[in-house]
Amino acid sequence: MAPRTDTAALLERVAKHHGEMLEDLAHYVELETPSDDRPLLEAGLARIDAWLRERLGEPAAVSTTGGGAYGDVRVYDYPGEGTAPVLVLAHYDTVWPKGTLADWPFGVDDDRATGPGIFDMKAGLVQAVWALRVLAEAGLSRPPVRLVLNGDEEIGSPVSRPVIEAAAEGAGSALVFEASAAGALKTARKGVGIFRVDVTGVEAHAGLDPRRGVSAVDELARVVLTLHDLTDHEAGTTVNVGVVTGGTRTNVTAGSAVGHLDVRVRTQAEADRIDAALAAVAPADPRATVTVSGEWNRPVMERSEGTAKLFALARGLAADIGVDLAECEVGGASDGNFVAALGVPVLDGFGAVGDGAHARGEHISLGGMTERTALAAALLHALTATR
């Protein structure tokens, strides 16, 4: 017989641990883990590892991939019923530099808790851990869980991407404990491309011999207009050349110029269209050269049928505790994009309810943390029946 999921009973159980969860959250936020500080990332992961073992016991298996200049990637396997694991993704790096806590410490004001990295995404990991903890306490079943912690998400997951993709092999579903979007789960995310345009012109004296020169700045300006014309808001595609540099002096025809662009697309068809357009970029003056480099940093996370079914299950469980769970598509990408591209159903934004990602003053709702923890526990229990 399939297990019955009582979300309300799980919510009561989670609420009894409010004080411990708050203590865990405070300790975690007080660990500074900026993406570009290897020593702090090492120290932070060591503390997280000890906390995981305290709250969840010894995992069945642990593997670590060295992060080089960035944070290491650690994968924990916790046994459960069935063979297809639920993949749980959480990054432990933040955008906040060392020393931020000195003038912005962790703080609580009624239902609101604040501190660097609390919304994106330290509260999310606390919720995931306590969801597993309360299921174990209640003696309720769940599938195997594979938890991936990476320390380079905020800079594009250059080291952790292949680790995440390997960890997704054989997974039945994935839960990403990134922050929610005003409480909504993220069932679709845009793909992100980061590209660079290098233009080489011909230097000459701008006043004495202007016809001899070919301005790389002029060529880049034409290219920028062409690229911006690729934006299609109806299709969900944006192209933004956000940084340009070029030239050496005002009286010298610019011999070089560079443009850096960010591309966001909703579908693979749009990604293909942008690829074709970038390949066709050419200078107006044949004496100049234009080179486009870069790549798609994260593939499109499209709302698949499997994701739709997973969301419907979560929505029903949330309704049991009076939560009207919504879903949305967002322009930002996450590690969930990698997993969705492999065909695994993904629910993203399962983390904190709050606001202010990457902004001073980011905050979460403590009540939302309790509800989300119970919902995660309920969903994991319910997934036992779908294996």
Task: Indicate the average pLDDT of the chain.
Answer: 97
**Residues 14-32: pLDDT tens digits?**
999 999 999 999 999 999 9
pLDDT at 12 over 80: yes
198: left (phi over 0), alpha (psi -120 to 50) or beta: beta
pLDDT at 1 over 60: no
pLDDT at 3 over 90: no
Q: Which fold has domain 7-189+301-386?
A: Aminopeptidase (3.40.630)
| Amino acid letter, 57 | G
**Residues 297-307: pLDDT tens digits?**
999 999 999 99
Nearest to residue 353, comparing CAs of 157, 183, 215?
183
Residue 249 has a pLDDT of 97
Banded model confidence at residue 387, pLDDT cuts 50, 70, 90: low
**Residues 144-153: pLDDT tens digits?**
999 999 999 9
pLDDT at 4 over 90: no
SS3 per residue for the chain: CCCCCCHHHHHHHHHHCHHHHHHHHHHHHCCCCECCCHHHHHHHHHHHHHHHHHHHCCCCEEEEECCCCCCCEEEEEECCCCCCCEEEEEECCECCCCCHHHCCCCEEECCEEECCCHHHHHHHHHHHHHHHHHHHHHCCCCCCEEEEEECCHHHCCCCHHHHHHHHCCCCCEEEECCCCECCEEEEEECEEEEEEEEEECECCECCCCHHHCECHHHHHHHHHHHHHCCCECCCCEEEEEEEEEECCCCCECCCEEEEEEEEEECCHHHHHHHHHHHHCCCCCCCCCEEEEEEEEEECCECCCHHHHHHHHHHHHHHHCCCCCCCEEEECCCCCHHHHHCCCCCEEECCCCCEECCCCCCCEEEHHHHHHHHHHHHHHHHHHHHHC
**Residues 305-322: pLDDT tens digits?**
999 999 999 999 999 999
| Amino acid letter, 382 | A
Token pair of 314, please? Answer: 């979560």
Banded model confidence at residue 5, pLDDT cuts 50, 70, 90: confident
Residue 2 has a pLDDT of 44
Kindly state the average pLDDT of the residues 244-255: 98
Global pTM value: 0.91
Banded model confidence at residue 288, pLDDT cuts 50, 70, 90: very high
Residue 386 has a pLDDT of 66
Supply the CATH classification number for the domain 191-298.
3.30.70.360
Q: Per DSSP, what are the bridge partners of residue 197?
A: 259, 292
**Residues 84-142: pLDDT tens digits?**
999 999 999 999 999 999 999 999 999 999 999 999 999 999 999 999 999 999 999 99
Q: Where are the domains of the chain?
A: 7-189+301-386, 191-298
The count of residues in the chain is: 387
